[in-house]
Amino acid sequence: MDKKPLISISQEYFDEVCLDNAGIFELNEVDALQETIDQLRVQGSLDHLSLTFPTSKEGLEARDERSRVLTLIEDLNVSRNHLDKALREVKVILDSGRTHQLDMFLHHQGVEALVESSLGIAASDLELFDVWLQNILQLIAGPKPDKSSIQAFQLAMPEVMPYLLGVHHCLLQNGNRSETLVNLLRIMTWSTKQCEVNKKTWMQLKNEGADFLQILMETMDSCLIGDNDTWSQDVGHNLCRFVTSLCTFDDFQSPNKSSIAAPTIASTHANVQAFAARQIVPKLHLYLQRNNDSAGILCLRALAVQDGIVQSMVAVGILEMTKAMFKKNVNLVADSEETLQMLTAIIGLFRNLSANDEIKTTLCIGNQSVLGNLLQAMEKYPSAASLQEHACGTLAAMALREPKNAEYLVGHDAHTWIVRAMRNHPQRSVLQRQAALALRNLVSRSPELRPNVLQTEAEVVLRTIAAKHASCQDEVYAALRDLGLPVSRMQVEHDASGEVVLRPTQMFGDAVNTRFRAVFE
């Protein structure tokens, strides 16, 4: 039987029940309080309440504190004359780490009130707008962001998006408040994370004749002129992250678990086309010539999902530029987190570009091959799971339907590094899936390469992974089959006595239809 949903219990109701228990049953404060807590806890959550006796000294202080929080939220909602003071009081609560006050603020729709309070800030009052930005970022992007706070923030954002786009436009024309624009872009990015609805809303916005895409492209243009390195690097970096979020589908929330209605159709491909039509690819090329920024590479990767856009990247010189960047970064003597991020981003871009048969062969074979540097990166960063995953995915794409590429890869021991990556990251199911695909693609059209792959003990690794990760069993099955190994799928069932029984799963091609007629008569 399903449990009944918990009701929302107010502080006033809690106090009333507590005083009734003390008066009617003649209980002292301690017993009356405990009786009330035991009585109401089965009805709903009490986490947001002050669990003190209403008329005690501690209780009066707690309720006075609660009253101040409610007044603060009201000031954010309706009292624009006190908005300056209210926003600064919110900052004090966030900075002080007063958990109980913050819990009350969040429970009483404080996040929604804070988001919508931006509408009361004059466009010229950028100092107060900075306070608002800092409050929002501390709530949603702090050390321990609360998931419900992020959802409340995203749900409230469409109401204020036109205002924020207007402020963005003003900041762009002003040109001397890079920190404010950076924080605004961070908030814009957070509003779209795992939220397809907000991505669509942003893309449809207009402000005083200038549409959303035009303003973003003007922002990118501002990063390509002059010598303002801080503006170019900081604004450009966060702009690339925003565009990447808009062009990546990540909204996998279930409709019944999210306060925001789940979309039926992803807008990311339409968004990619819209950005490409505004010539973002050549702009990103110029931006990356000025800045060694992994966010710019990630943005290119998000855009490289359609062949026409991939061809335009090659035409403007992005492929050659990223190959040079890759070689430079992989050969740096001093390791750093920035270098690892750049290498991971570039390999991810190569992985997407390799969807084009001509480009993947160029990247794999000959004088322009990146294979040597790719295997060098795998050897240099064996514990970097994301880098290893992208590398396996790139090798899988290079070998797909290309026997010459497969022969070249095996000739350079690519299969050895794939198996090593699988051994080093046994818990990383997404890596295991890409690695299994890579091993399969190496031998599926080149059976003569099977002995080379099997010498790496690939069979043992594949069977171990199949038993550990259900999500990649299809890929492992195909790899073992194409390696010429005996393999069968087993289905775990329980018989009438509760004993575990393993039954073979019938795969496509296993059964023979004796009534099949090759020629229809």
> Shortest CA distance to 318 belongs to which of 353, 348, 369?
353
CB-CB contact of 252 with 195 (8 Å): no
> Shortest CA distance to 343 belongs to which of 304, 379, 290?
379
User: For the residues 147-169, what does the mean pLDDT come to?
Assistant: 94
3-state secondary structure of 63: helix
Band the pLDDT of 45: cuts 50, 70, 90: confident
Beta 210-211 vs 206-207: how paired, if at all? antiparallel
Tell me the C-alpha distance between 371 and 128, whole Å.
52
**Does residue 66 carry a pLDDT above 70?**
yes
**Does residue 318 carry a pLDDT above 90?**
yes
Phi, psi (rounded to 5 degrees) for 375: -70, -30
AA letter at 344: T
Mention every residue, 6+ apart, whose C-beta is less than 8 A from residue 133.
180, 183, 184, 187
26-41 residue pLDDT tens: 899 999 999 999 999 8
pTM for this entry: 0.85
Tell me the C-alpha distance between 471 and 473, whole Å.
6
Residue found by looking up tokens 């289905």 in the block:
491
Band the pLDDT of 509: cuts 50, 70, 90: low
Residue 471 has what pLDDT? Answer: 86
Residue 122 has what pLDDT? Answer: 86
User: For the residues 63-78, what does the mean pLDDT come to?
Assistant: 86
> Shortest CA distance to 110 belongs to which of 122, 97, 124, 93?
93
User: For the residues 242-268, what does the mean pLDDT come to?
Assistant: 70
**Does residue 268 carry a pLDDT above 80?**
yes
Higher pLDDT, residue 64 or 438: 438
User: For the residues 159-165, what does the mean pLDDT come to?
Assistant: 95
User: For the residues 226-235, what does the mean pLDDT come to?
Assistant: 79
Band the pLDDT of 499: cuts 50, 70, 90: low
Residue 501 has what pLDDT? Answer: 52
Domain ranges of the chain: 157-316
**Does residue 2 carry a pLDDT above 70?**
no
Residue 283 has what pLDDT? Answer: 97
Residue 520 has what pLDDT? Answer: 47
Tell me the C-alpha distance between 485 and 194, whole Å.
41
Band the pLDDT of 257: cuts 50, 70, 90: very low
**Does residue 5 carry a pLDDT above 80?**
no
Planar angle of CA 210, 216, 221, nearest 5 degrees:
105
Highest mean pLDDT among 210-214, 313-317, 363-367: 313-317
Lowest mean pLDDT among 181-185, 224-228, 337-341, 425-429: 224-228
CA distances 414 to 165, 168, 381, 481, Å, are 48, 48, 15, 20
Residue 107 has what pLDDT? Answer: 84
Residue 491 has what pLDDT? Answer: 57
Kindly compute the dihedral angle of the four CA atoms of residues 154, 156, 161, 166, in this order, to the nearest 10 degrees. Answer: -120
Task: List the alpha helices (DSSP H) in 248-384.
Answer: 268-277, 280-290, 294-303, 307-316, 318-330, 337-353, 357-364, 371-380
Mention every residue, 6+ apart, whose C-beta is less than 8 A from residue 402.
357, 360, 361, 364
Neighbours of 266 (CB within 10 A): 15
Phi, psi (rounded to 5 degrees) for 250: -140, 15
List, in sequence order, every residue forming a beta bridge with 210; answer none if it has no partner: 207
Higher pLDDT, residue 334 or 454: 454
What percent of the chain clears pLDDT 90, i.e. is strictly above it? 64
Mean pLDDT of the chain: 88
Q: Directed axis angle between helix 403-411 and helix 357-364, to 10°?
A: 20
**Does residue 1 carry a pLDDT above 70?**
no
Residue 192 has what pLDDT? Answer: 96
Tokens of 97: 């780490």
Phi, psi (rounded to 5 degrees) for 178: -65, -35
**Does residue 456 carry a pLDDT above 80?**
yes
Q: Give DSSP secondary structure letters for 192-203.
A: HTT-HHHHHHHH
